[in-house]
Amino acid sequence: MLRMTILNKLWVYVFPIGKGLDDATLERVSSDTVRLTVRRSFKWRSGQHAYILAPSIAALPFEAHPFTIASAYSEESHAKGSPQEIVFIIRGRDGFTKRLLEASETRQSVPVVIDGPYGAPPRLSHYSTSILIAGGSGVSYTFPLLLDIVRQAKSGNGVAQRVLFVWVVRSASHVDWIDNLLQQAVQDCPSTLQLSINIYVTQQSLPELSHENGVKGDMTSIEKKQSLAEISTTSLTSSRKARVLSGRPDIGAMLKEELSCASGLVSIDVSGPSALADATRDALVACNEAQPAAVLRGLPRTTLHLEVSP
């Protein structure tokens, strides 16, 4: 008890209310995941991360943990002088993240300090084709990159012609993490940008969701909150931009197909478990697209960037 009192006083002294602490919205978006949202003036690049300090959640003084920012910086909000919406998708595993998940059962907000941004993610503005592959919460890295590409294309400032967004999730309920924002990205996508979204649900026993479009998914768990899979049977798949599929992607076949028809520079960005990163690297080498001789044969120049999670 004495230790907790001392720590609380220390935090109040170092970060006085109204100056250092931001009130973050805490929302449980699936059984093991929370979405933490902070509204404040803050500038970052898609793919960067920040450290989160939450005094009321931390077990040790000045305990901070890095998390990728899952939202994209808005120039429009900046021009209006409005605060930015900084979003983090956090899986509750152990330690700090487990305590944060448990806190979401009884609390809707938590005071935090955001320290950052950090990291030097690649700039995709000069790539004609972008292939974004994520596993689980790795979507925090690839999704803001997608938002940037769509916004640039919509404003007429981008050179991107084609984007393939691949997301591998264990449970269909994980689609709820970003479904509303993903729907908005599809709606904002101009006709000049060819966008394909493939979401793979690896849990077994998934009944077909739509016979017409060949889209599969878990109706009982996806439909509950007007999520992406439900919308995909109407507005999304009517434009053939999004599919929810059962099983794991064939990375080799996918890359071979995409690279065979790509022109200009190609960026492949992967975020997720090491197995996903290794599979992508091996598939790229197997296609011989990573070799310098491939460019001499007229194949596109390809850049691979990997963000590996524990």
Question: How far is residue 13's CA from residue 128's CA, in Å, rounded to a whole number?
Answer: 51
Neighbours of 293 (CB within 10 A): 8
Domain assignment of residue 5, yes or no: no
Question: How far is residue 225's CA from residue 57's CA, in Å, rounded to a whole number?
Answer: 29
**One domain for residues 282 and 195:** yes
**One domain for residues 61 and 85:** yes
**One domain for residues 177 and 255:** yes
Eight-state DSSP code of residue 236: I
Instruction: Identify the domain containing residue 77 by its residue range.
Output: 22-118
Question: How far is residue 79's CA from residue 143's CA, in Å, rounded to a whole number?
Answer: 23
**One domain for residues 151 and 300:** yes
Predicted confidence at residue 257, as pLDDT, reads 92
**197 - beta bridge partners?**
165, 242
Domain assignment of residue 111, yes or no: yes
Domain assignment of residue 188, yes or no: yes
Domain with 248 in it: what CATH number? Answer: 3.40.50.80
Secondary structure E strands in the chain: 22-30, 33-40, 49-53, 64-68, 84-91, 109-118, 129-135, 162-169, 194-201, 208-210, 215-216, 242-246, 266-273, 302-309
**Number of domains into which the chain is organized:** 2
**One domain for residues 77 and 137:** no
Q: What's the whole-model pTM score?
A: 0.81
Predicted confidence at residue 260, as pLDDT, reads 86
Question: How far is residue 181's CA from residue 147's CA, in Å, rounded to a whole number?
Answer: 9
Predicted confidence at residue 59, as pLDDT, reads 85
Predicted confidence at residue 296, as pLDDT, reads 55
Domain with 110 in it: what CATH number? Answer: 2.40.30.10
Predicted confidence at residue 31, as pLDDT, reads 86
**One domain for residues 84 and 148:** no
Return per-residue pLDDT of the chain as tens, 310 residues. 333 333 333 443 344 444 468 999 999 988 889 999 999 988 999 999 999 999 999 888 788 999 999 999 988 877 788 899 999 999 988 899 999 999 999 999 999 999 999 999 999 999 999 999 999 999 999 999 999 999 999 988 889 999 999 999 988 888 888 888 888 899 899 999 999 999 999 885 444 433 333 333 333 333 333 344 444 444 444 446 788 888 999 999 999 999 988 888 999 999 999 999 999 999 998 876 556 666 556 667 889 999 987 6
**One domain for residues 32 and 142:** no
Query: Residues 6 or more apart from 291 whose CB is under 8 A from it?
Result: 285
